Amino acid sequence: MIHYFEHTTSTNDLARGADYRHMDVVWAGSQSAGRGQRGHKWHSIEGENLTFSVVLEPHFLPIVEQFMLSEVVALALVDTLRNYGLEARIKWTNDIYVGDYKIAGVLIEQMLATDHIARTIVGIGLNIQQTDFPDDLPNPTSMRLEGAEGCSPREVLEAFMLNLERWYSRLVDGDKDAISQRYNSLLYHRDEPHTYAYASGERFEATIRRVQPTGHLVVEHADGTISAYAFKEIEFCLPQKRRR
Ligand code: BTN
């Protein structure tokens, strides 16, 4: 069920309420403390985009396989954009890009029991109508800027939930290899040499080969050595770009 609020602090916080259960959606027109990954704020103009959180209760999923949830969510976002004629890719771990521009971000927060995942809050910011963005955002875009005009946020949200339910059912059915294969086939910068940076800031050239089921990014370095990196161990080095 979709629960709409005109305003809240962060839908990820609101969705923690015990009344919200599996596949419930907490959607807000605006957030005063929208959170992004790596401690960033999530910026969104009131009413123009989608800012919402979905509650999942994946009790069947071993904790070591929690990255499968990121994959399922990213695939549902890519399919939703495709429903509107947009070809998107997944920038590891789960930013959604159209070309070199970020159109959606995902913040997944897990509540773990001793041996299983008790609850997962999937927070999503998807830019729909916004065309002006703050200068400090490196490369934002929106469905409208990419040519999908006049989309209603509610309609897009409903399309996303159908796609999420479909991918999630495949996870429940144990179709894990197919999910990971599809996720890998949509990876941004896969099999192309690019510049990355370690957490220390030191840069290096490498080629993304795949993402492991644990969520580690496997890259081939310029000298041919292969390494697997966890989230936050390396970053993409992307130039600042504006969609105009
Ligand atoms: C990112 O940094 O790319 C992740 C952004 C996630 C933003 C969404 S907006 C709805 C939900 N509530 C939050 O506070 N954050 C997420």
Mean pLDDT by 10 residues, the chain (244 residues): 97 96 98 94 95 97 96 98 98 96 97 92 98 93 96 96 98 97 98 97 97 97 97 92 78
Which two tokens mark 214?
Answer: 């644990």
The pLDDT of residue 107 is 98
Do both 169 and 223 map to the same domain? Answer: no
Do both 207 and 136 map to the same domain? Answer: no
Q: Which residue range is the domain that position 200 belongs to?
A: 193-236
Do both 88 and 128 map to the same domain? Answer: yes
Instruction: Decide if 64 is inside a domain.
Output: yes
Count of structural domains within the chain: 2
Cis peptide before 120 (omega within 30 of 0): no
Ligand 1 proximity of 40 Cβ (cutoff 6 Å): yes
Do both 164 and 133 map to the same domain? Answer: yes
Measured from the CA of 40, which atom of ligand 1 is nearest?
2
Collapsed DSSP state (helix, strand, coil) of residue 204: strand
The pLDDT of residue 160 is 98
Residue nearest to atom 2 of ligand 1 (CA): 36
Residue nearest to atom 7 of ligand 1 (CA): 125
Instruction: Give the closest residue to 209 by CA, choosing from 182, 184, 236.
Output: 184
Q: What is the pTM of this model?
A: 0.97
The pLDDT of residue 119 is 96
Do both 204 and 171 map to the same domain? Answer: no
Q: What is the DSSP string of 47-97?
A: TTSEEEEEEE--TTS-GGGTHHHHHHHHHHHHHHHHHTT---EEETTTEEE
The pLDDT of residue 206 is 98
Do both 95 and 214 map to the same domain? Answer: no
Ligand 1 proximity of 182 Cβ (cutoff 6 Å): no
Do both 179 and 204 map to the same domain? Answer: no
CA angle (34, 38, 36) in 5-degree steps: 20
Instruction: Decide if 46 is inside a domain.
Output: yes
Do both 197 and 172 map to the same domain? Answer: no
Centre of ligand 1 from the C-alpha of residue 40, in Å: 9
